[in-house]
């Protein structure tokens, strides 16, 4: 029983630290989105509809809209497919052609989010186990 409590506290601390790191990356990526949007507009003379509408949304005020805006960048990088709202097939080549200092933090943010979800599920399972022991 005591070992389970120590493991739980360790996981809670890791989850908390991951949350702080995630906030840092979200703030950094909000700034980078504007730069990427400017480069995209110079290259293709337009922005996809969701990005145009939600370009100034922040992760804190409008998290869902912020996700729509960022999938414009993340989907071509991770899945090799164009954004849902884009009509341009050149999205993948454009995003993969950007410097890594602009795109790497988006990928890190996605993986931290996925790891956080998995960690949350593990913590829920540990709470269930602790309660029923």
Q: Decide if 63 contacts 100 (C-beta within 8 A).
A: no
What is the rounded CA–CA span in Å between residue 34 and residue 39?
A: 9
Is the pTM value of this prediction over 0.85? Answer: no
48-77 pLDDT, tens digit each = 877 777 777 776 766 667 777 788 888 898
Around Cβ 91, how many Cβ atoms within 10 Å?
22
pLDDT tens sequence for the chain (133 residues)? 688 888 888 999 999 999 999 999 988 988 898 899 889 889 888 888 777 777 777 767 666 677 777 888 888 988 888 888 788 888 889 989 999 999 999 999 999 999 999 999 999 998 898 888 7
The two three-digit tokens of residue 57, written as one number? 């949304």
């Amino acid at each position: 029983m005591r070992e389970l409590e120590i493991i739980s506290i360790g996981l809670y601390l890791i989850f908390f630290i991951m949350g702080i790191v995630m906030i840092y990356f979200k703030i950094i990526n909000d700034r980078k989105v504007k730069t990427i949007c400017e480069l995209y507009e110079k290259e293709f003379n337009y922005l996809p509809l969701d990005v145009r509408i939600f370009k100034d949304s922040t992760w804190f005020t409008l998290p869902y809209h912020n996700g729509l805006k960022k999938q414009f960048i993340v989907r071509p990088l991770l899945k090799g497919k164009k954004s849902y709202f884009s009509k341009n097939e050149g999205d993948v080549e454009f995003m993969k052609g950007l410097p890594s200092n602009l795109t790497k933090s988006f990928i890190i943010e996605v993986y931290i989010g996925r790891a956080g979800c998995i960690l949350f599920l593990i913590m829920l399972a540990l709470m269930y186990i602790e309660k029923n022991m």
